[in-house]
Amino acid sequence: MSREEKRVILASSLGTVFEWYDFYLYGSLAVIIGAKFFSQFPEGTRNIFALLAFAAGFLVRPFGALVFGRLGDLVGRKYTFLVTILIMGASTFIVGILPTSDQIGITAAIILIVLRCLQGLALGGEYGGAATYVAEHAPHGRRGFYTSFIQLTATGGLFLSLMVILFTRSALGEEAFLDWGWRIPFLVSILLLGISVWIRMQLQESPAFKKMKEEGTGSKAPISEAFGQWKNARVALFALLGLVAGQAVVWYTGQFYALFFLGSVLKVDGYTTNMLIAWSLLLGSGGFILFGWLSDKVGRKPIILGGCLIAALTYFPLFKLISAEANPALHAAHQNITVVVQADPADCSFQFNPTGTARFTNSCDIAKAALARLSVNYTVEAAPAGTAATVRIGDTAIPSSTPNFAQAVGTAITAAGYPAASNPTVVKMNHPFDFFREQPAVLIAVLTLLVIYVTMVYGPIAAALVELFPTRIRYTSMSLPYHIGNGWFGGLLPATSFAMIAQTGDVYYGLWYPVVIALATVVIGIFFVPETKDRDIFAEDETEAQPSAARARV
């Protein structure tokens, strides 16, 4: 690897780490930010802001992919992803100095949402630019290895944001942090922005883009050419359904859903949950580089689709093992205690609530939600039309009309044998190196395996997407399926899985969401996505870019 190639990878990866750092700060401090900017307003107004903040975080990203993808294909990779980091860094810094709603009223909340939307747009343009730029600098036969460093950035940004928050919180104390110290992680972003901009200013345009410009073969309308012409649009569609959708759900399951499952379902305390996930990320993240390198040898498809398949086949036993180790008493209660919800089926909603703004007030919904929050396994029996829901725990029946219903259900399930959240069998880590015991050691091993699945599907994905599209529309074409897959298929996973758990009463039922999507990706990917590792990405005609044997297979 030459000095220039190392600088390209460092500049692209470091800048993308900083972008993810900025993006994750909002999520990590969402409760504090909500209190500072939204809590003074009526519930309806708060709900609108919550919806907009959610949309900015996930739904806006594909639009950023279109805006900056088009710019990158018209103007160049270097300048476009220089613009994205300027927007992201400036937006994050302004959050750190923005007056709260106590000071300037609803204007503060509106400005915050605008800044959050700018962050989402910038992130939508950043990844495609960084991946394309690095891939177009990489020598033939090493693109998987070179671009795998980009894949480390999301984990690196999350880790960096958590470390800055933890250090600031510890240094200032909880009271000062909640009062004004929460601004410091946002203000620190200006230093990270300065470093990243300085590094990126030293870079040259990518060789593939310069060659295209010199030959005058660039696209004048990248969006319409990429998605308005079926020959290109179908490639993007198959990239989404045959690669990215499965990659997204495996990534979110291995990192974010595992975090949710430990904390919300198994009732493991926040410190222990974060330590377990942190160790698994530390131990497993080398897989990004390993599988990126391996994809140069054996191909992108075998590794990405193999990771999706292995994950889909093993999620249920692995999460049951996590349950048995993390909270043995709760796991035993799931196996041995019968809980039944008797309700009119027409009274039961599918409780999909990604923004936290929906209200489910039917008696069946109230009963199911109370049990789901308590991590109770239950079954549902149909009752006559118009019958209010009743929860049966052994011989005890609790009508949904009971005063303090949720409290009454909690008391009843404890009496039946469900453990309290703080029962002594729950895994607990007292310090970061407290893993020389069976419970944390086994859990870290299982969680590391889930991270390895993540690295299998995510390590080679940048190279695979870059190689699918010609230079003239590459930035636009690869960015949109990536951000739809990860922003929508992946981003909606926690809310969808919880709704599935509440609907069925099975704490593992939510795993069917990633399992089904991962298996669908395997099938679609096998039949409709070509292998691309041997393509010459400098060739404008993708059929000419393939060796004759590969062309015959396609």
Q: What are 392's strand-pairing partners?
A: 340, 397
Give pTM, 2 decimals. Answer: 0.87
* Measured distance CA(464)–CA(457) in Å, rounded: 11
Over residues 72-82, mean pLDDT:
82
State which H helix or E strand residue 381 sits in.
Answer: strand 379-382
Q: For residue 381, which phi and psi values (nearest 5 degrees)?
A: -115, 135
| Whether residue 552 has pLDDT greater than 50 | no
Over residues 310-330, mean pLDDT:
95
Q: How far is CA 179 from CA 24, 36, 106, in A?
A: 20, 9, 19
Over residues 23-28, mean pLDDT:
74
Q: Are 132 and 80 in contact (CB under 8 A)?
A: no
pLDDT in the model for residue 1: 64
pLDDT band (50, 70, 90) for residue 492: confident
Q: What are 343's strand-pairing partners?
A: 382
Q: Are 69 and 232 in contact (CB under 8 A)?
A: no
* Measured distance CA(209)–CA(367) in Å, rounded: 59
Q: For residue 452, which phi and psi values (nearest 5 degrees)?
A: -65, -40
| Whether residue 366 has pLDDT greater than 80 | yes
Q: Give all domains of the chain, ordered by start, each with its CATH number.
A: 1-218 (1.20.1250.20), 225-327+430-554 (1.20.1250.20), 335-416 (3.40.30)
Considering only the C-alpha atoms of the chain, give the largest distance between any 2 of them, rounded to a whole number of Å.
80
